[in-house]
Amino acid sequence: MWGAITARAAAEMRRPEVGQPPWHTQGSTAQPSAALQLPQHASRQRRSSSLSDHLAPPRRLSGFSPLQVEAHFARVIQRVMPKSYAQALGEVRVTRTFLENFSGDQVRFLARGFSVPGDHPGQASHGYRWPFGPVAIITPFNFPLEIPALQMMGAVYMGNKPLVHSDYRVGLVLDEFVRLLHHCGMGLGEVDVCYGRGHIINSIIKEAKCRSTLFTGSKRVAEKLAEDLHGRVFLEDAGFDWKILGPDVQDFEYVGWQCDQDAYACSGQKCSAQSILFMHDSWAEAGLEKALAQRASTRKLDDLTLGPVLTWTTEQMLAHKDRLLGIPGARLLFGGEALQGHRIPKQYGAIQPTAVFVPLREMLKQEHFEAVTTELFGPFQVVTRYGEDELPLVLEACERMEAHLTAAVVSNDIRFTQRVLGATVNGTTYAGMRARTTGAPQNHWFGPAGDPRAAGIGTPEAIRLVWSSHREIIQDFGPVPEGLQLAQS
């Protein structure tokens, strides 16, 4: 049975030689005062030793690759987050490769600036990427290693002092990672880790006056944080992610497999999960609906290719299904039932992989659009289809959606693909017959678009954007020209 981690299980997973975890455990809002001083230790000024300090851990973390370490982190992830071993291992490998990417002198090059000659002798302007100083990082339960590790290390690379909070249900993974960093040479004062429930962390960050906060999670919490912190936030919040299958049917088995992966891997608990599938008539006529149903039916609890949903109950998910089936023309493609024969606690959700078909024109009606585009963080997707002359309706739907995170245009028809890409805005968009919505590795930007608060993760561009600001220093040492007329104006 998968369930919440117990104190005994946590103790068993710790490395005994490094003692107790560095969590600042809070039981109520009356307790966080001691932790409020943590972020204040960081200054806006870049310490003279910061670059050399931050180069050492990535170099030594090339030792992250031995199989026993890799397997340990994959199992720790599985202990607290119900995903398959392959999904957990993928998270570890992305993190390892990210660390390799910033080994050697690569951290130094993150802070590359520029110089522009001035308009008289002795003057030049220099642009720098400058750290904020004390910052906060709030990360979700679904990627308990990858998201906190990549964002925390990016913040440190740029010279900041981060206060890091991982969802209270999965904090063990971050604890183990920080221990590994310390083992590899990172100073004990580089990072603070705070463990507790959301309202505790909210209180700490509000009172600590962190100069910037990175939040990954739900849209509701993101908007609350933006208000509480007066806009000093970067956000990677909800994603109602779409996939459009173009008119050219090819690589049928592969596309069906990728659709199943995007919708149901990790039980749909990814911000990049495929939320809605727009099928061209040609794919529907080729039998894609049946193929998707067959693939979904092979997912099972035994290997966690299907598992508990942490943020929606079974009743809530089935109620959402029934709400969509109330739309004229809607029908259940597959799934739609609660899982049977398990011991998953009732506070979690457990349903079959589910797809509901909703006619495109009904979906676009004002009275239905909000329901159809509600992100359900579980094994659930909406499916619709369109004809040759209905692509403008599909693009209208994509434009009206509010969460522009990932998207996929599955087509090798260049003109079709360019038309869709030119009319949409999602921050991470895949195009081509192998396009997907999930599985973002470390080698490209991942983040939303269309919002000035949008965060990114994983790449040099993302790190510079989120963890530094531009500073211009204009040097003007003279000489002062002889005979210069110093007239008032």
Residues labelled catalytic: 236, 271
Q: What is the dihedral of CA 82, 85, 90, 96, to 10 degrees?
A: 100
| Closest C-alpha among 400, 442, 408, 383 to residue 106 | 442
Alpha-carbon gap, residue 233 to 238, rounded angstroms: 15
CA distances (Å), origin 355, targets 238, 254, 292: 20, 19, 9
Alpha-carbon gap, residue 172 to 178, rounded angstroms: 10
Alpha-carbon gap, residue 170 to 183, rounded angstroms: 21
Task: Please say whether the beta carbons of 382 and 277 come within 8 A.
Answer: yes
* Half-sphere exposure of residue 271: CA atoms within 13 angstroms, side-chain side: 27
Tokens of 297: 């039916």
Q: What angle do CA 374, 405, 175 make, to 5 degrees?
A: 95
Q: Rounded to a whole number, what is the largest CA-CA distance in the chain? A: 93
Give the residue ranges of DSSP H helices in 32-138: 50-60, 67-80, 85-101, 106-110
What are the φ and ψ backbone dihedral angles of 446, each rounded to 5 degrees? -135, 120
Alpha-carbon gap, residue 377 to 273, rounded angstroms: 8
Cis upstream peptide for 479 (omega within 30°)? yes
Q: What is the dihedral of CA 438, 197, 3, 379, to 10 degrees?
A: -30
Alpha-carbon gap, residue 469 to 236, rounded angstroms: 18
Task: Please say whether the beta carbons of 269 and 310 come within 8 A.
Answer: yes
What are the φ and ψ backbone dihedral angles of 381, each rounded to 5 degrees? -145, 160
Alpha-carbon gap, residue 82 to 304, rounded angstroms: 7
Task: Please say whether the beta carbons of 209 and 228 come within 8 A.
Answer: no
| Closest C-alpha among 488, 471, 469, 478 to residue 118 | 478
Task: Please say whether the beta carbons of 416 and 252 come within 8 A.
Answer: no
Contacts of 183 (CB under 8 A, 6+ apart): 18
Task: Please say whether the beta carbons of 247 and 280 come within 8 A.
Answer: yes
Residue with the two structure tokens 């690589």: 251
Any bridge partners for residue 130, and if so which? 469
DSSP assignment letter at 158:
T
